[in-house]
C-alpha cells in the first residue's frame, strides 16, 4: 500500500510534495490495529469520536519514529492507552465547558452492555485503574504487558488491579 | 476468576460491537518543523493555561480513488483575519484555514487538509485552541455528527461537522462589531463509513468580510469546479476571504456590484441552495442536505446607485424543481400576484396604529414598494449590509403613520431572513430587545420580518430555535440612507 507524505515547512507552507512507498508497514499496521484500538480507546473514554481522534493521534506520533520502533503495534497501543488516560484527566474541564454551554455530553453509540451497572462502575474508576481493568479484561493482556504499556512495574499493576476490583466489587456485589 | 471479574469482562465485551470503519487506503500527511512563534508562545502558556498545543501531524485515511471517480474536492477554506488558507490543487498538505479571534487573541482555529483530496477522505485534522478553557475535544452536533466545541468566555468557538463536511464556526462576542467566522474544510466519511456525498462537500460556507470591500481590493485567487458549479475563492488583502458560488447559467451571467459574475449554483444533489449577500460584495452559498425542505433562493447581483446605498436587484426564487434535475437552470420568480402581508409593530410608545406593510415580491425588485395604511411608499434604495448574516436582503423606506392624531414619519425596515429562524430581534443602544415576527412569503423561500426603526436601534439579530446565534445586521446604514443619505 502506498503511503503519501507531504512535508510542510516551518511556517506551515508546503515546500515539497513527496510520495513515499517505504512506509508500507505503517499502512499495514494501521489496517491491522485501527479498529481494535478505536474500540479499546472507546472502552476507556466512552466516546467513539474521541477514541478515533486519539487513535489517529497515536498513529501520527508513531509515524514520526516509525523506522525506530521495534514493536510498532505495541507502541501505538501504549500511546492510545496513555492518550486515553490523559483524555480522562481533561474530562473534568470539558464537562464544565459543556455545562456552561448547556449541552449534553455525548452518549456512546452502539454499545448495549449486558450489565449497565457494571459499566457504570468501570467508568467511575480513576483513569489508571480503569486502564488496567480494560487492558486486563477487555484486551486480555497479561500483567507484564500491561506494565509495559503503562510504564510501571508489574507489582504496581497487580496492586492497581486489586484496588480496582475491590472498588468494583463494592458496587457490583455490595 | 471471581464473579466480579467475570461480570466486568462480560460487560466490556459490548465495546467490541462499536462500529469502526477501516480505511481502504492510508495517507500520512505531516508538517515538519517548529511551531510558529505565536504557537510557541501558546505552548509556553499552555502548561499553565491549558492552551492546546497545535498538533503538527495529521493522519488521513483516504478511500480508494475509484470509489467516486476520483472527483476533486474543492479547496474550501475561508477565514476571517488571516492571510493564510491557500488551498490549492496538488498533493500537498496545506494550512487550509486558520483564524484567531477574541480580545485576548488566544482563540485559534486551524484546519489542515490535503488539497486535491478525493471524495470520501476523512479525518482532516482540525485543531482548535482556546485561551481560557482550552477545550479541544470532539463533541457532537445536533445532528449527531462528531463535532468540537470550545467555550471561550467572551466568545464562542464552535466546530461542527456538517454531514461529512467540516464546518468551523466562530461567533465572537465582546468585540467592537459582532463577527462571525466560518471556516469550511475537510471531508469525512459518513456515519456508516461510506464516502461522503458531494452535497456534503464544503463548498457550502464562506465568510463574513472584515469591513467594507472595494473593487480594487478584491482579487480572484482561484476557481474550481464542483459538479458543474463553479466556485470562486476571493481573498482580500487584509485577509478576509470570500467563497463564491458562481452560476453556470447558459446565456445568463448576472453581475455583482463589482462587476463580477455572480450567483447561482445549479447543484443536482442539493436540496437547498442559500445565497446570502455578505458585506458590499460577498455572496455566500450554502448547500444543505436533503432533509431540508427548501430548495433555495438565488440572488443576482447588486447595482450601485449611491455612495452608500445599492439598489439591490435581487431575483428571489421560490422552489425551483427544475434545478434539481439540472435541465433548466433558470431563475424562477415567485408569483407577483401573491403579495405578502406583514404585520409590523410600529414600535412607537404611543397607542400605535398597527402598520400593515405589503411587501411586493415580483421577481425583479424585492421589496421596492411598501404600502401601508397611510399610503403607497416607494423605497428609494435597498441596502446590502456588512456582516449581514443571515439577513439576506433588506430594504428601508419612510412612510407616514398617524399616531395620537398626528402624522409621524417613520422608517420601515423589511428584511428577509433564512426560513424560520426562531427569533429575529432588534437590539437598541441600551441593549433592550424587541422581537419581530418573520413570516413566510407564499410560494417562495423568503421569510420577511419588518419593523419601524427607532433612532436608538442598532442591530437586527437572528437566532435558531435552539438558541444558536445565526447572525446580525447593522441597522445604522439604513438609518443614514433613509434619513440623511
- pLDDT tens for residues A106-152? 334 444 445 678 888 888 888 888 889 999 998 889 999 898 888 88
Q: Is B142 on the interface with A (CB under 8 A)?
A: no
Greater confidence (B482 vs B135) lies with: B482
Q: Which residue has the higher pLDDT, A162 or B365?
A: A162
Interface residue A147 vs chain B (CB under 8 A): no
CA nearest to B73, candidates B46, B111, B34: B111
Give the B window 28-47 contacts with A, CB below 8 Å. Answer: 28-34, 36
Whether A47 and B57 lie within 8 Å, measured CB to CB: no
Q: For residue B153, which residues of chain A lie inside 8 Å, CB to CB?
A: none
Predicted-assembly ipTM surpassing the 0.85 threshold:
no
pLDDT top residue among B214 and B82: B214
Per CB-CB distance under 8 Å, the chain B contacts of A30 are 23, 26, 59, 61
Range among A149-153, B55-59, B263-267, B455-459 with highest mean pLDDT value: A149-153
The sign of the dihedral angle between the CA atoms of B67, B198, B465, A50 is: positive
pLDDT tens digits, one per residue of A37-78: 988 998 888 877 677 767 766 776 676 677 777 788 888 888
User: Which helix (H) or strand (E) is A16 found in, with range?
Assistant: strand A14-20
Most confident of the ranges A59-68, B44-53, B312-321, B364-373 = A59-68
What CA–CA distance (Å, rounded) separates A111 from A106? Answer: 13
A118 touches chain B (CB under 8 A): yes
Contacts of B12 in chain A (CB under 8 A): 43, 119, 122, 133-134, 137-138
Distance from CA of B150 to the nearest CA of A (A): 7
| Secondary structure, 3-state, chain B | CCHHHHHHHHHHHHHHHCCCCCCCEEEEEEECCCCCHHHHHHHHHHHHHCCCCCCCEEEEEECCCCCCCCCECCCCCCCCCCCCCCCCCCCCEEEEEEEEECCCCCEEEEEEEECCCECCCECCCEEEECCCCCCCCEEECCCCCEEEEEEECCEEEEEEEECCEEEEEEEECCCCCCEEEEEEEEECCCCCCCCCCHHHCCCCCCCCCCCCCCHHHCEEEEEEEECCEEEEEEECCCCCEEEEEECCCCCCCCECCCCCECECCCCCCCCEEEEEEECCCEEEEEEECCCCCCCEECCCCEEECCCCCEEECCCCCCCCHHHHHCCCCCCCCCCCCCCEEEEECCCCCCCCCCEEEEEEECCCCEEEEEEECCEEEECCECCCCCCCCCCCEEEEEEEEEEECCEEEEEEEEEEEECCCCCEEEEEECCCCEEEECCEECCCCCCEEEEEEECCCEEEEEEECCCCCEEEEEECHHHHHHHHHC
CA distance B473 to B485: 19
Most B CBs within 10 A among A53, A95, A112, hence the mutation to make, goes to A53
Lowest mean pLDDT among A136-140, B281-285, B476-480: B281-285
- Which residues in chain A have their CB less than 8 angstroms from residue B30's CB? 5-8, 60, 63-64
Q: Which residue of B has its CA nearest to A173?
A: B4
pLDDT per residue over B137-167, tens digit each? 233 322 333 333 332 222 333 333 333 333 3
Tell me how far apart the alpha carbons of residues B23 and B64 are, in angstroms, rounded to a whole number.
Answer: 9
Chain A within 8 Å of B157 (Cβ-Cβ)? no
Q: What is the pTM of this model?
A: 0.34
Closest by CA position to A51, among listed A64, A61, A37 = A37
Closest chain B C-alpha to A94 CA, distance in angstroms? 6
Cα–Cα separations (whole angstroms), residue B241 to B129, B207, B221, B235: 21, 6, 10, 4
**Of A78-92, B78-92, B405-419, the least confident:** B78-92
Mean pLDDT of all residues belonging to chain B: 39
Instruction: Count Cβ–Cβ pairs < 8 Å, chain A vs chain B.
Output: 196
The beta-carbon neighbor of B57 closest among A23, A60, A100 is A60
Under an 8 A CB cutoff, do A26 and B26 touch?
Answer: yes
Amino acid at each position: 500500500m502506498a503511503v503519501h507524505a507531504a512535508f510542510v515547512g516551518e511556517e506551515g507552507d508546503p515546500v515539497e510534495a513527496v510520495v513515499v512507498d517505504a512506509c508500507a508497514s505503517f499502512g499495514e499496521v494501521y489496517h491491522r490495529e485501527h479498529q481494535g484500538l478505536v474500540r479499546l480507546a472507546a472502552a476507556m473514554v466512552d466516546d467513539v469520536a474521541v477514541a478515533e481522534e486519539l487513535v489517529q493521534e497515536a498513529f501520527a506520533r508513531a509515524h514520526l519514529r516509525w523506522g525506530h520502533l521495534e514493536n510498532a503495534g505495541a507502541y501505538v497501543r501504549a500511546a492510545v492507552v496513555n492518550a486515553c488516560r490523559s483524555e480522562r484527566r481533561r474530562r473534568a474541564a470539558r464537562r464544565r465547558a459543556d455545562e456552561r454551554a448547556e449541552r449534553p455530553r455525548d452518549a456512546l453509540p452502539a454499545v448495549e452492555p449486558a450489565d449497565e451497572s457494571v459499566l457504570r462502575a468501570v467508568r467511575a474508576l480513576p483513569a489508571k485503574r480503569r486502564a488496567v481493568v480494560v487492558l486486563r479484561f477487555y484486551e486480555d493482556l497479561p500483567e507484564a504487558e500491561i506494565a509495559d504499556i503503562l510504564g510501571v512495574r508489574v507489582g504496581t499493576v497487580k496492586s492497581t488491579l486489586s484496588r480496582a476490583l475491590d472498588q468494583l466489587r463494592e458496587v457490583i456485589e455490595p | 476468576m471471581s464473579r466480579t471479574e467475570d461480570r466486568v469482562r462480560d460487560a466490556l465485551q459490548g465495546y467490541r460491537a462499536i462500529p469502526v470503519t477501516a480505511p481502504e487506503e492510508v495517507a500520512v500527511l505531516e508538517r515538519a518543523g517548529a511551531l510558529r512563534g505565536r504557537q510557541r508562545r501558546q505552548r509556553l502558556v499552555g502548561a499553565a493555561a491549558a492552551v492546546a498545543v497545535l498538533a503538527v501531524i495529521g493522519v488521513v485515511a483516504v478511500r480508494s480513488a475509484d470509489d467516486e471517480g476520483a472527483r476533486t474536492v474543492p479547496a474550501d477554506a475561508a477565514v476571517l483575519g488571516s492571510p493564510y488558507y491557500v488551498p490549492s490543487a496538488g498533493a500537498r498538505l496545506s494550512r487550509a484555514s486558520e483564524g484567531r479571534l477574541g480580545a485576548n487573541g488566544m482563540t485559534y482555529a486551524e484546519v489542515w487538509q490535503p488539497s486535491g483530496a478525493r471524495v470520501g477522505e476523512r479525518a482532516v485534522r482540525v485543531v482548535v485552541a482556546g485561551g481560557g478553557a482550552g477545550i479541544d475535544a470532539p463533541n457532537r452536533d445536533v445532528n449527531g455528527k462528531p463535532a468540537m466545541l470550545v467555550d471561550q468566555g467572551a466568545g464562542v468557538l464552535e466546530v461542527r461537522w456538517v454531514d461529512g463536511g467540516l464546518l468551523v464556526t466562530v461567533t465572537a462576542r465582546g468585540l467592537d462589531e459582532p463577527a462571525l467566522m466560518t471556516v469550511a474544510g475537510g471531508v469525512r466519511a459518513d456515519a456508516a463509513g461510506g464516502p461522503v456525498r458531494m452535497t456534503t462537500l464544503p463548498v457550502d460556507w464562506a465568510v463574513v468580510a472584515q469591513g467594507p470591500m472595494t473593487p480594487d481590493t478584491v482579487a480572484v485567487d482561484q476557481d474550481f469546479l464542483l459538479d458543474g458549479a463553479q466556485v470562486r475563492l476571493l481573498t482580500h488583502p487584509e485577509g478576509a476571504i470570500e467563497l463564491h458560488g458562481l452560476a453556470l447559467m447558459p446565456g445568463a451571467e448576472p453581475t455583482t456590484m463589482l462587476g463580477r459574475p455572480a450567483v447561482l449554483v445549479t447543484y443536482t444533489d442539493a436540496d437547498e441552495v442559500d445565497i446570502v449577500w455578505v458585506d458590499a460584495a460577498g455572496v455566500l452559498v450554502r448547500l444543505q442536505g436533503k432533509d431540508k425542505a427548501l430548495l433555495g433562493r438565488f440572488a443576482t447581483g447588486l447595482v450601485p446607485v449611491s455612495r452608500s446605498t445599492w439598489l439591490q436587484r435581487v431575483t428571489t426564487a421560490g422552489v425551483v424543481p427544475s434545478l434539481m434535475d439540472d435541465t433548466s437552470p433558470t431563475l424562477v420568480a415567485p408569483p407577483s400576484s401573491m403579495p405578502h402581508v406583514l404585520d409590523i409593530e410600529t414600535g412607537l410608545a404611543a397607542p400605535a396604529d398597527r402598520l400593515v406593510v405589503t411587501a411586493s415580491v415580483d421577481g425583479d425588485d424585492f421589496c421596492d414598494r411598501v404600502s401601508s395604511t397611510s399610503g403607497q411608499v416607494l423605497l428609494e434604495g435597498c441596502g446590502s449590509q456588512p456582516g449581514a448574516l443571515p439577513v439576506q436582503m433588506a430594504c428601508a423606506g419612510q412612510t407616514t403613520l398617524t399616531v395620537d392624531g398626528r402624522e409621524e414619519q417613520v422608517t420601515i425596515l423589511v428584511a428577509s431572513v433564512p426560513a424560520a429562524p426562531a427569533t429575529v430581534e432588534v437590539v437598541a443602544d441600551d441593549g433592550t430587545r424587541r422581537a419581530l415576527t418573520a413570516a413566510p412569503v407564499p410560494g417562495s423561500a423568503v421569510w420577511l420580518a419588518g419593523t419601524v426603526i427607532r433612532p436608538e436601534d442598532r442591530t437586527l439579530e437572528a437566532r435558531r430555535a435552539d438558541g444558536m446565534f445565526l447572525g446580525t445586521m447593522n441597522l445604522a446604514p439604513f438609518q443614514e440612507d433613509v434619513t440623511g443619505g
